[in-house]
Chains A and B, each alone.
Chain A
Amino acid sequence: MVEALKRGDDLAFAWLVEQHHAMLVRLALRYVADQATAEDVAQETWLHVLRGLARFELRSSLRTWIVSILKNRARSRATRERRNMPISEAWLATVALGEPAVDPDRFFGSANTELTDRWASAPRGVAPEEQLLASETQAVVSHAIQALPLAQREVITLRDIEGWSAADVCNALGLSETNQRVLLHRARSKVRAAVEPYLSQTDQP
């Protein structure tokens, strides 16, 4: 990939942009105030990526390197415009606290001490693989992700759609490992709840 880029292969570059541009704009929005500036910063990043290619070494992943350039560009733009970088704390406030992974009504209450906090209405059934890919299931998943609070949406997008490691997400978003995991947990739990009827539909007899 890097070699193709250094040769000036425009297909390789177009592919790279297709893969990462939307993500760069989203990350930039954590530093600058509006969409237009974020788009600008992302484009500026591509220029610096190209200019820096000759110096790029394969010690780090290409994506990690691109993200680090984006962060530098976004930070310097934020400074020029005298905006404060949004800190993780403020951003994390977009998360409603104390959301249980599963509706508490699905567990037995305290009336029955033997069964307290055990499933009263257990999830049933796992779907065959093709059910996961059915357009109906995919639409429910996309919709559920769109409905998440910002911080949760960012983390689940990078981890589960883009396939980033936990460490890369912590680094890009300035999160502690614990915060990253809590956001991911809340996000995945809600998406699971949304698709549960589709997973159970094909219940085994």
Chain B
Amino acid sequence: MSTPNDEIVCKELVELVTPYLEDVLPTNERAAIERHLAECDGCTTYVEQMRQTIRAIGHVPHEPITSRTRDEVLAIFRAWKAERS
């Protein structure tokens, strides 16, 4: 679904944003996205919000482990140390 002159529209761009940010698009598609972004404030904002979302996700803490799990695994560690020496 592309327009006759191979330009992309907003609805297509939002589906290409991940391969665009991952930098895996063929050169011509990447260029088409950059041409579109140069003229479209909505999509420029969209891509920036996607980058912000990724940064926000990056600050979500790791899943914590329970103290029971920690104790069990540290017991394994102590047993290993003992078996070594």
Chain A residues close to B by CB (< 8 Å): 8, 10, 13-14, 17-19, 21-23, 39, 43, 46-47, 50-51, 100-102, 104, 107, 116-119, 122-127, 129, 132-133, 137-138, 141-142, 145, 156, 160-163, 166, 177, 181, 184-185, 188-189, 191-192, 195-196, 199
Whether B59 pairs with A43 at a CB distance below 8 angstroms is no
**Across the interface, which residues of B come within 8 angstroms of A185, CB to CB?**
15, 17-19
**Across the interface, which residues of B come within 8 angstroms of A123, CB to CB?**
42, 45-46, 49
A4 to chain B, nearest CB (A): 12
Contact of A124 among B45, B56, B62, B64 (CB under 8 A): B45
- Judge whether B38 is part of the interface by a CB distance below 8 angstroms: no
The number of chain B residues touching the other chain, given as a range, is: 35 or more
Contact of B80 among A23, A47, A125 (CB under 8 A): A47
Contact of A181 among B18, B62, B80, B81 (CB under 8 A): B18
**Across the interface, which residues of A come within 8 angstroms of B77, CB to CB?**
10, 13, 46, 50
When A and B form their complex, which 10 residue pairs have the shortest distance between CB atoms, in order from nearest?
A: A122-B42, A22-B63, A185-B18, A117-B11, A119-B42, A160-B57, A192-B53, A117-B9, A132-B56, A50-B80
Given contacts A14-B70, A166-B22, A181-B19, contact A142 B60 (CB under 8 A): yes
Chain B residues close to A by CB (< 8 Å): 9-12, 14-15, 17-19, 22, 24, 40-43, 45-46, 48-50, 52-60, 62-65, 69-70, 72-74, 76-78, 80-81, 84
26 contacts between A and B (CB under 8 A): A10-B78, A14-B74, A17-B65, A43-B76, A50-B76, A50-B77, A51-B80, A116-B9, A117-B9, A117-B10, A118-B9, A122-B41, A129-B55, A138-B60, A141-B56, A145-B57, A160-B54, A161-B57, A161-B58, A161-B62, A185-B15, A185-B17, A188-B53, A189-B14, A192-B53, A195-B56
**Across the interface, which residues of B come within 8 angstroms of A188, CB to CB?**
18, 50, 53-54, 57
**Across the interface, which residues of A come within 8 angstroms of B48, CB to CB?**
126
**Across the interface, which residues of B come within 8 angstroms of A142, CB to CB?**
60
**Across the interface, which residues of B come within 8 angstroms of A191, CB to CB?**
53, 56-57
